[in-house]
Structure 1
Amino acid sequence: MRKLFLPIAVIMFAFLFTTISCKKKDPAVNQEELSGEIAFDSTLVKAFFVKYPKLKSYQSDVETLYRKHQYHYVWYDKKGINEFGNVLYNKVNNLEEEGIQVTVPYKNKLDEIYENVEDNQKPEIDTELLNSSLYFFYADKVYHGLDAKKVAATGWYLPRKKESYVNNLDSLLNNPSLINKDEKGVLSQYYRLKDVLEKYRQIEKNGGWKTIAVEPGVKSYKPGDSSKTIAQIRQWLFVTGDIRMDSKSGLYDKTMAAGILKFKQRNGMTVNKVITPEHIKTMNVPLAQRIKTIMVNMERCRWISNDITKSKELIIVNIPAYQLTYLKEGKPALISNVVVGKALNKTVIFSAPMKHIVFSPYWNVPTSILKKEILPGIEKNENYLEEHDMEWHESNVRQRPGPKNSLGLVKFLFPNSNAIYLHDTPSKDLFKSEDRAFSHGCVRVAKAKELANLILKNDKTWTPQKIDEAMHSGEEKWHTLANKIPVYIGYFTAWVDDQGDIHFYDDIYERDEELASLVFKK
């Protein structure tokens, strides 16, 4: 037995020596294995980014990732490159579906790896680090979007979401399907826009929509009218999904009327059955332009955390839609028309917590309005202040509480450096206009009384009767809210509702083109 043991020992030693020697041929692989995972030399990360300089902006994230994982491979399992690696490669190959037009760095190298998967079964350092860099590239473009400085330069001051893409990767590695609806990464509205983008690109593949010709001298079309133009409008409504069938008829019938009502509702117009050349002009916006608008608004969605929709209470104002939505427990409790700042006095895009409601408020006239409007008015008419229910107060002018007050009977304060707030108004007729950019920057609310009632609904000290009395008392009264309500004033020219219908709004501050120049920059 002793004679037999010696040859066996020699053979085993030779086998182990050969195995160790083979491992030493791959400088990326460490001899130590922890929990079945292979570690690599940390210095190879820096060397990788010297070799692949176009990815250097992601070096810090990659280093953070591998420090967390103690420099173990994360993109391989027993079969080779893991499932999420293949999912990610597919996603990067289809970035246009995400509304992104960008050149993928080292695309040829990626193609070589994933088109020859059978040759990439064993952990290889370039493939490993290329995948990690690819992930952070994808997260940067799809989840994060433009950097904060560029976003602020467009006039957008809403808080940027804070997300750890390193931690997010662990979740995706465990469940790759999360990447398809990762609402932790992007506002859920993003995915709705993405679905509509796919629909509109399919319309484009099918030939798009034809330009509608308005007949000379025709000022409007109404139910019962008949013409070639009506047949063209019907076809357009069918292509966009506002009606289900195209009968080819030139008669303006009930089916087409229902489609027109839906079209107007989707485009922020006064909802009636009359079709004017101005409405047809909106229909004639090129399909390519609509696709571009969708992509621009997908970019805006990247900047906001979906966590805001989890707030128990939330007030959102969408400037181009001229609309305020008050959400309670994630559901709309009130939707109101609003008036926003005109082009010269743009309403600022920002967020702040609402802290106070002021009944029968004074209006402290801003210095700019005092110089441009009030003082010239006083020079022309010595009774100007009295006629406008105004008075001097501490070297400034203010308007006394009452039905003539420019702030109406109630205002809602969320302290901010922009001096912007929500308020009532005596000029109720302005809410009937399709274009509602008339203010000096603040937001006038059509349903201000209803908003006050809903906010104070659970406060036993404020009954609807007491709210009404405070609004008409003629004496300013402040109420501090027990629970602060987040107010988000945003700017979306395309928005998809709960039914999946796309709404387009006029770009009243002409911000889309500026943003598009950044988004589509190669």
Structure 2
Amino acid sequence: MCNEKNSMTSVIIKIMSIVLLVIISPTHTYAKGNLHLNKGALDKVHLEKVQLYDELKNTNKDKRLFFDHKYLNLSGLTLLSLLADLGIREHPILTQDEMANIDATDKALTLELYHIASQSYGNQLKSAANNPDDFRTALINDTLPAYIDSAMPQFNAVIRLRQAINKYKGIKNIAWPKLTDSFNPQLGQGHAEVKILRKKLITFNDLQTVSTSKHRLHIFDQSIINGLKHFQRRNGLKQTGRLNAMTKNALNQNIDSRIHKLQVNLWRWLSLPRIPPTKYIMVNIPAFDLRLIDKGEALMEMKVIVGKPSNQTPTMITEVNTVTLNPTWTPTRNIINNDLLPLHNKNHTALKSLNFYLAKGYGANTLYQEVPPNLQEMLNQYRLVQRPGSSNALGNVRFNIKNNNAIFLHDTPTKYLFKHHNRALSHGCIRLEKSDDLLTTLGINQRKDNLGTKHLRLQQSLPVFITYQTAWIDNLGEINWRNDLYNKDK
């Protein structure tokens, strides 16, 4: 009988380890993980996980990490809540099978927490944003519950996001009938689907519940138009108050899909530092915006232009340490081949009119030449450069951030593009609506009307977080949703 129990425990441990491998996919597709490992590779990973657990358990004086005797301790309860919010498990309680095999359960919980502690995607700096060794320190100092509380970065937005996940879980079982394609209500019109629309807007807190007669429930009135505008604003749609196709599709999304989206976005916060810096820049790619945060408050906010889906702006943890006034621009080979050479082939004077020239060498030994008709051939020896000026693609200022992708924050001469609703228009860099304001806020007041290029170092580097948040809760407590621009929520 004892051997049977041991055998069953061993099987459960292996199953949990396999499940964990799916969970810790770097793309966070924990809901749809696909495992493609042969038995030898699986056994090797399983052995590594067993060794890791044994090491952590040894640090904990050979005691289980999340159980006191046969019951979950405070650390276990806290961790289960976090795992449920992240979507790793459906409920923050253990099943009967898990309670019956607490050694296997303790191991699975330990490895899940270690994985959460190890997230640091897009980090461009030498120091890791999050250090899993802090897990060991918490075990040594007997501060594991506090460590789990801080496993999620301590941004106010994270707390609000977890609250929203649990709010939506509380309404996931309500009926959610779809609005039909033919439903196109006009002001004052009565229609059976108006009642469905009204219920959806009330559920999402876009429409207040008021005492209304049964007849009025079916009338498309001004209050519903106002509710639609509020819903459209939160979903990044044009605020027309009309039930167009995009608004209807957003309203028809079921609650489960919205919970999944919230959980995917909660995962993304794991890569950010556990303790927010006092002052930092936060760019949200799907929202096309940048905020400069100081002591938790937004000092300034502006629109940005980000990379097209074919030239995606990467997420990253980095910092700005230098600024270039009146920068030159050296376009990438991709931009030259796809944009500039076709322009040149149509009109051999086009690039010259835009202040482009050829350069060879660097510093005092640089050789310059005007753009010739045989540009493509000359690019084997020269590089194509655009002089500073009103037509320069980087505008009047470039904020240099540490990264391996040649990504910058910069000004732009095409300010009219900020009027566009969809601003995924660049080759990957981030164009700024108010670059002068950011420059002033950073304490740089030098004039840029002198076309000489200047490189200035900031007195103190400023953290920059380029994020991909398709769902977040604003300071008013309202959930905001954005289109999955790069199809990363799948």
TM-score of the superposed pair, with normalisation by structure 1: 0.70
Partner of 1:34: none
What is the alpha-carbon distance in structure 2 between the residues aligned to residue 212 and residue 75 of structure 1? 47
Residue 88 of structure 2 is matched in structure 1 by 100
**2:388 alignment partner in structure 1:** 401
Give 2:284's aligned residue. Answer: 318
Residue in structure 1 matched with residue 257 of structure 2 by the alignment: 289
Secondary structure of the residue that 1:512 maps to in structure 2? coil
User: Residue in 2 aligned with 1:199?
Assistant: 167
- Are 2:422 and 1:435 equivalent residues in the alignment? yes
Residue in structure 2 matched with residue 162 of structure 1 by the alignment? 131
Q: 1:23-422, aligned counterparts within 5 Å? A: 52-53=13-14, 58-71=49-62, 85=73, 88=76, 92=80, 95-101=83-89, 108=96, 110-112=98-100, 132-140=106-114, 143-144=116-117, 161-163=130-132, 164-169=134-139, 178=146, 182-188=149-155, 189-207=157-175, 209-215=176-182, 224=187, 226-228=189-191, 231-245=195-209, 247=212, 248=217, 250-253=219-222, 255-307=223-275, 309=276, 311-394=277-360, 395-422=382-409
Distance in structure 2 (CA, Å) of the matches to 1:375 and 1:75: 62
- Structure 2 residue corresponding to 1:505, chosen from 469, 482, 485: 482
Q: Is the 8 A contact 2:472 2:480 kept in 1?
A: yes
* Offset from partner CA, 1:231-275 (integer Å, 9 cap, x none): 54333211111122154252432x434433332221123445454
* Offset at residue 140 of structure 1 (A): 4.0
Change (3 A) 1:250 1:380: same
Query: Contact conserved, 1:75 with 1:81, CA < 8 A, in 2?
Result: no
- Greater fraction of residues in helix: 1
Distance between the aligned counterparts of 1:435 and 1:192, measured in 2? 27
Q: Please give the per-residue CA displacement for 1:386-441, whole angstroms capped at 9, x wherever unaligned.
A: 22232222312222222222212211111322000011112222222221111011
Write the distance in 2 (CA, Å) between the matches of 1:408 and 1:93. Answer: 48
Q: 1:49 to 1:233 in 2, by over 3 A?
A: closer
The number of residue pairs the alignment matches comes to 420
After superposing the two structures, state which structure 1 stretch, 85-94 or 489-498, moved more. Answer: 85-94
For 1:484, what is the secondary structure of its paired residue? strand
> In the TM superposition, what whole-angstrom CA distance separates every residue of 1:179-233 from its partner, at most 9, and x where no partner exists?
8x813444544442222122222222222x33223547x5x96xx5545365543
- In structure 1, give the amino acid aligned to 2:461: K
Question: Where does residue 484 of structure 1 map in the other structure?
Answer: 461
For the residue of structure 2 that corresponds to 1:429, the secondary structure is: helix
Tell me the percent identity.
Answer: 23
Q: Which has the larger radius of gyration?
A: 1
Q: 493-502 or 272-281, which moves further after superposition? A: 272-281
What value does the CA root-mean-square deviation take over the aligned residues? Answer: 3.6
CA distance, structure 1, for counterparts of residue 81 and residue 293 of structure 2: 38
2 CA distance for matches of 1:74 and 1:377? Answer: 64
Give the whole-Å Cα distance in 1 for the aligned partners of 2:438 and 2:221: 40
In structure 2, do the counterparts of structure 1 residues 415 and 131 end up closer, same or farther at CA, with 3 Å as the change threshold? Answer: closer
Question: Residue 346 of structure 1: CA displacement?
Answer: 0.8
In the alignment, residue 391 of structure 1 is paired with which amino acid?
Y
Whether contact under 8 Å (2:124, 2:404) holds in the other structure is no
1:69/1:351 Cα in 2 relative to 1: closer, same or farther (>3 Å)?
Answer: closer
Is contact 1:99–1:298 with CA below 8 Å preserved after alignment? no
Match of 2:35 in 1: none
Find the aligned partners of 1:289 and 1:74 in 2 and give their Cα distance: 33
Q: Structure 1 370/109 Cα, relative in aligned 2: closer, same or farther at 3 Å?
A: closer
Counterpart CA distance in 2 for 1:277 and 1:103 is 35
For 1:135-182, what per-residue CA distance to the aligned partner results, in whole angstroms no more than 9, with x for missing partners?
4145246x348x77xx68xxx9796521322333567x6685x58x81
**One-letter amino acid of the structure 1 residue matched with residue 296 of structure 2:** G
Counterpart CA distance in 2 for 1:289 and 1:427 is: 37
Give the match's secondary structure for 2:171: helix
Partner of residue 432, structure 2:
445
Q: Which residue of 1 aligns with 2:40?
A: none
Post-superposition Cα deviations, 1:59-113, rounded to whole Å, max 9, x if no partner, equal: 4444444544554677787xx667x526626864995444224899x96554237
